[in-house]
Amino acid sequence: MALVDQWRAIERGLPEGWGEARLRLTVQDEAEAARAAALLGPANPARRGKVIWFYVSRVGGGPVPDLVVRLLGRVDGAGIQGALELVDVTEAAAQAPARRRPTLVEQWDSLLAELPADWSDIWAEVELTSSDYLERGALLLAPVNPARAGKRLAYRFRVARRFGYGASAEMTRRCLERLDEEGITGEVRILHVLSDTKPVATQGPVWYVGGQAV
């Protein structure tokens, strides 16, 4: 049975007020267990040999069920087979609803809405919440030509509205959407913005950061 289907069966058997479930995935081959743990990376799994443990949370503070379904789907897609078991389950504590973190796309849309109508060039960054996201994040952000921001868990990139150097706002939004789809979280910031620039025999304005053109 596919891992996604195994999780669905476990989920149906959980008590109505469950808050967090601890799962154990046992894979037949240790090399495949390492691959499975890598694919489950955003769920922060722990692995020992052929056994992988991770949590599913319905109350925040951990990977939510929808994310776990997507991650297990990636393991299924890689042809990795295993047995998924419920180790423990806890009930959700009675508390005020946790404030939901805005998605990266929601942050981007909100930032653009605050800019003047004639903005033309942006120097932006997305700071990730975990180093586990760096490699996959760079791949998903590749169309905007991201550059690491020193040792920080952040990538910086340029956005051009009509012409010049930088990704379009639409392409930027799509890249951030791809991060959201894989459960990669973080914070988007606009560092600098210019309005109504006009290139004269150039590709547009140049920013200098740390003595280097960006």
| pLDDT one-digit tens code per residue, 140-170 | 999 999 999 989 999 999 999 877 778 899 9
pLDDT at 199: 67
- Please give the Cα distance from 159 to 9 (Å, whole number): 45
Mean pLDDT, range 105-122, rounded to an integer = 90
DSSP 8-state secondary structure symbol assigned to residue 101? P
Token reading at 186: 């973080």
Domains in the chain, ordered, with CATH?
3-91 (3.30.70), 104-201 (3.30.70)
CB atoms within 10 A of CB 184: 24
Q: Is residue 103 a contact partner of residue 179, using CB atoms and an 8 Å limit?
A: no
- Per-residue confidence at 173, pLDDT binned at 50, 70, 90? very high
Please enumerate in sequence order all residues whose Cβ is within 8 A of that of 51, keeping only pairs 6 or more positions apart, or say none: 24, 25, 26, 27, 33
Higher pLDDT, 82 or 93: 82
Burial class of 106 by CB neighbour count within 10 A (0 to 12, 13 to 18, 19+): middle
- Please give the Cα distance from 79 to 36 (Å, whole number): 10
- Which residue type is seen at 201? A
- Total residue length of the chain: 214
What's the whole-number average pLDDT of the chain? 87
- Per-residue confidence at 210, pLDDT binned at 50, 70, 90? low
Q: Where are the beta strands (DSSP E) in 58-198?
A: 82-91, 119-128, 147-148, 154-160, 186-195
